[in-house]
Amino acid sequence: MSGQGQEQNIRSFLIAECGRVTTTVALFDVAHGTYRLVGNASAPTTARAPWQDLQAGVREAIAQLTEMTGRTLLTDRGDLIRPVQLNGTGVDCFSFSISAAEPLTAVLVALLDDVSLASARKALQSIYALELDHFSLTDERNQKEQIASLLTKKPDIVLVAGGTEGGADERVMHLIETIEIGASLQYITERPHIVYAGNSHLRQRTINLLADTAPVHIAENVRPTLDKDNIFDAMRILGELYDEFKLNELPGLQGLLEWSDYPPVPSARAFGGIIEYLAALHKDHVLGLDLGANSAIFVSADPRRVRLAVRPDLGMGPPLMALAEKSAMDDILSWLPMEMDREALRDYLYNKALHPHTVPMSQEELYLEQAIARVLIRRLVQDAAADWGWNDNSAGHLPPFHLLVIRGHTLTHAPRPGQVMSMVLDALQPTGAFSVVIDRYGILPALGTIAAYEPILPVQVLEAGALVKLGTVVVPVGQPPPNQRVMKIKIDAAQTGNLQMEVEPRGLEILPLSPGEKVQITLQPQRQVDLGAGPGHKRTLTIHGGAMGLVIDTRGRPIPATQQGSEISRSEMVQSWLQDMGA
């Protein structure tokens, strides 16, 4: 879209993203009539000791941006210059997103694990929150043990769900009584806030029971019927509590608020917002994946709804200490193309937790970090799929999607595109046909932060190529009969001419397509093979080139742990997959 006719409204924007480890600032301004990313820079986040001042890290990142772009943005005293001055210094608007705060801690209370508990968890995962415990009908602990858990874990909030509308379930009231006793046994200043998001017919009884004990917040029932959830009101209240308890605690926040033209946005919400925007733009299902040092985020958006899973227990930094348990370590080792000692792996996880900003310097450690990333993403996506009811589809796969957007240093800064694609395919194990793009410059939360106030900015910045296209992927479901090919492919390309090929089962095929190149491909699968249009049905796709071109993954789903009838070891198998991908 052109910026002509809007010039008098055009403003420059400086947007910060304050993560737990790194603070990034991005400067957007108008060039040739449209918004462009002028530059971005980062510095350590300084919310914690010894600095205890969030603003100090933002200033350092801005100072670095000035060194890179030559544009002065701060006064000698460290104040932001606003608006843009005649000499070109300064910026018109400042805003920021934030994930530097501690997560909100919560205990969930609900009746059925697959029903109200799942809905409560979905609401909780819309913010940076850690689920410390949950009580439900399947809980085998007695009341004293549940109360003891509350007293030991000291959650910030208790989120109570349970009871479909119209029911008068005494079992919900019994669980609330347990919460009431547990809260009453704590000092007043340490009692959790209770968010009641259950059967509305029990609201008044809940308020009567808890009113003298702990602050109560009432949300609409997160599970009004067995087959439908309604989590938005609970999400709103949880968001407010997160802002109140965690964001406002951050030292140095006040200084940033004084600079900011808009209220701060949690980075996960900003990322979710931009994925929602992309889903609306493409009129299709878009997935977003962000693997950070202190949290992992998975977003699913289509034109009708957005789902967000924020997991502060999964990340490439401090959460890794908790990952050093047997099954996770087995999973990590299974994605290595070499053998590794289990204790060396445990030490690596612990050291990475201490120094999350460090980067691997050897090929082996690079593969190790990428294996860790696969396991974290797999857990994130599998848990989200279970919570979102995606495992209900017969094949147990992710539902079809059009576009996958990825961010997070391990994913976006891998040296070779094949490494990025390998991590994504191994961890998500998606099916169908889709494209993958990378937030290489780390600006999506910034775009999400500003989208509500300057909607044209993300449109123009994205149009200008802010996302790097990694490639298009085709993953068939089902295997052909022995000794037969999975599918035939016909490619009509203006630059390279027409091409026909057949694809073998149980492998990876790459068809390089340069960035900017556009081809039409026709995929004719075997009768038993489904490309998303039904078994044996042909698909025709128009695809654009990228760092990887076209990737066809016929390894099967789930990806087999070993190759039947072969003596190839698991590490050799992983090695051959990496080689196939040019990783």
Interface contacts to another protein, rule CB under 8 A: 22, 41-44, 46, 48-52, 56-57, 60, 64, 68, 143-144, 147, 151, 177, 180-181, 184-187, 189-190, 249, 251, 324, 343-344, 346-347, 349-351, 354-355, 357-363, 365-366, 413, 415-416
Nearer to another protein, 65 or 529 (CB): 65
Instruction: Indicate the residue among 361 and 494 with the shorter CB distance to another protein.
Output: 361
**Can you state the percent helix, strand and coil of the chain, rounding each to 5?**
35, 25, 40
d(CA 419, CA 556): 19
Q: Are 286 and 297 in contact (CB under 8 A)?
A: no
Q: Which is nearer to another protein, 234 or 414 (CB)?
A: 414
Query: Which residue, among 125, 218, 124, 203, has the nearest Cα to 165 in the 3D structure?
Result: 203
CB of 422 to another protein, least distance (A): 14
CB under 8 A, 24+ apart: contacts of 185-194: 185/147, 185/151, 186/150, 186/151, 186/154, 190/154, 191/215, 192/107, 192/150, 192/154, 192/155, 192/156, 192/157, 192/158, 193/156, 193/157, 193/158, 193/217, 193/241, 194/157, 194/158, 194/160
Taken in order 387, 392, 396, 400, the sign of the CA dihedral is negative
Q: How far is the CB of 413 from another protein (least distance, A)?
A: 7
Give whichever of 24 and 554 is closer to another protein, judged by the CB atom. 24
Under a CB-based contact definition with an 8 Å cutoff, are residues 434 and 404 in contact? yes
Q: Smallest distance, Å, CB 351 to another protein?
A: 5
CB of residue 40 vs another protein: minimum separation in angstroms? 9
To the nearest whole angstrom, how small is the minimum distance from the Cβ of residue 109 to another protein?
16
In angstroms, what is the minimal distance from the CB of 204 to another protein?
A: 17
Query: Which CB sits closer to another protein, 85 or 351?
Result: 351
Residue 190 or residue 227: which is nearer to another protein going by CB? 190
Angle between helices 203-210 and 170-184 (to 10 degrees): 20
How many angstroms separate the CA atoms of 293 and 497, rounded? 45
CB atoms within 10 A of CB 387: 19
By beta-carbon proximity to another protein, the closer residue of 213 and 435 is 213
- HEC string of 30-60 equals EECCEEEEEEEEEEECCCCCCCCCHHHHHHH
The helix (run of H) or strand (run of E) holding residue 14 is strand 13-18
Name the one residue in this structure whose structure tokens are 């997959």: 577
Output 28 or 388, the one with its CB closest to another protein.
28
Q: Quick one: 9 or 362, whose CB is closer to another protein?
A: 362
Please, what is the minimum distance in Å from the beta carbon of residue 269 to another protein?
Answer: 24
Contact at 8 Å (CB) between 75 and 102?
A: no
Smallest gap from Cβ 43 to another protein, in A, equals 6
> Per residue, what are the HEC states of 449-461?
HHCCCCCHHHHHH
Rank residues 64 and 571 by Cβ distance to another protein and give the closer one: 64
The pair of structure tokens assigned to 199 is 């059967």
Considering the complex, state which of residue 184 and residue 563 has its C-beta at the smaller distance from another protein. Answer: 184
* Cis peptide bond N-terminal to 83, omega within 30: yes
Shortest Cβ 346–another protein spacing (Å) = 4
Shortest spacing between CB 280 and another protein, in angstroms: 33
Query: What distance in Å separates the CA atoms of residue 381 and residue 296, rounded to the nearest whole number?
Result: 10
Shortest Cβ 178–another protein spacing (Å) = 9
